Structures are given as structure tokens and as C-alpha cells.
Amino acid sequence: MTSDDSSNAGDDNMYENGNDNTSTEDLPPKEFWIAVVSIAILAAPCLSFLALNIMKKNPIGLIKCSLWFSIVLCGLSALILLAVVPFVGLIYGVITVCLICYARSVQSRIPYAASNLKAGITVLKTNLGLGLVAIGSMVGLIGYSAIWAYGFGGVMQLDSMKDTSESLSSSSTDQTDLSPLGGFVGFLFILSFYWSHQVLQNVVRATVSGVVGTWWFSPIEASSFC
């Protein structure tokens, strides 16, 4: 090996080491992710109980606010998109008109919906065990998401998931394209992520529905911690 070759090899090693160090330094520290997860776990229950108190005190105003907020948001999106993409802005405009007609048609039903909302909140407060179910599902969702992300990243790094065809030019070696198998496996990962989240959410929904149904016909039986 000549001196030029050895110097080029040394430069390549220094370049690779520099890239490795840079990529490692760019990653957030482990403490950062622990803090983010801890804050999310602590903040979610507090915000949920705060939202329950607000909804119980003024359910009619909350329903009206949520109804008209969606209309205002859709209308602003229509105005902005009309200047950028007129066709899409026109579609949003039609949706805004439909939402206005819907809001006007359900005005008389808002007090009834508010009564149901207030009754549902009363059920949740008489059986605080439902709070444990909600918090447990939140912890489960966060834990599953972390495990899913770890598994997805590890599987996608396998050589069988990457396209190693000869048609790829040498200049695009840094860009990794998925093989047909990699695309199929990635689709299955995304499907499993969506499916598992829906299952966990529906478990909470079914549990709450069962307690509410019991409360309607036997309030004493449903008025307990669990």
C-alpha cells in the first residue's frame, strides 16, 4: 500500500468517525426522554380531571364552543387555501357551509346533549376506578409506542428490508430504499400500531359504557371505587 493510499484510508476513517460522533451528539440524552414521558404521565391525569370539572360546570357552553370552533377553523382554512390552492379552498368552503347548516339544525338538541354529558361526568366521579382504567390505558399506550418504535427501527435496519439491487448508483449509497419485503413489513408494523391503539382505546370505552349502564339502572352498585 502506498503512502497516498494509507493517507486516503486515514482520511476516510477520520471522516467516518466524525460522522459517528456527530450523529451520536445530535441524539437527545436518555434523561430527556425520561423527563418527557414522566411529564406526560403526570400531566395527562391532571388535565383530564380539570377538563371534567369544566365540562360539568358549563356543559352547554362547552358544546357550543366546540361546535363553532370547528366551523371557524374550517372557515379560516378555506380563506387561506383559496389564496394558495383555490380548488382545495373551495372544498373547505363547502364543508364550512355544511357545518354551519349542521350547527343551526342541532341548536335545539344542545341542552339534551349537555344533560347527557353532565350525567356521564357524574358517573365518572361516583366511580373513580374508571380513572385507574384510563391512566392504565395511557401508560399502556406509551409503553406500547416505545416498544413498537424500538422494534420498528430495529427491523427496518436489517439488510433484508433494504433494496440492494444493482440499479442503484454508487452516488446514492447513503440513501436506503426499502425492498418489497421491507415495504410490506413496514405496512404490517403501521397496521399493528393502529390496531393495538384502537383495541386499548375500545377497552376503556367498553369499560366506561358498562359502568354507565349499571349506574342508570342500579346507581348504588356502580357508586364505588372499582
CA dist., res. 99 & res. 116, Å (int) = 22
Residue that has been written with the C-alpha cell 452516488 in this structure: 171
* Residues 78 and 132 occupy one common structural domain: no
Residue 149 located in a structural domain: yes
Residue 214 located in a structural domain: yes
Residue 226 located in a structural domain: yes
* Residues 103 and 121 occupy one common structural domain: yes
User: Which residues, other chains included, contact 181 with Cβ-Cβ below 8 Å and sequence gap of 6+?
Assistant: 160, 161
CA dist., res. 74 & res. 94, Å (int) = 10
The residue range of the domain holding 120 is 35-126
- Digit-coded pLDDT (tens) for 13-38: 554 554 545 455 565 677 777 888 77
- Digit-coded pLDDT (tens) for 130-166: 878 888 888 888 889 999 999 888 888 887 777 766 5
* Residues 109 and 202 occupy one common structural domain: no
C-alpha to C-alpha distances, 171 to 136, 165, 180, nearest whole angstrom: 49, 14, 22
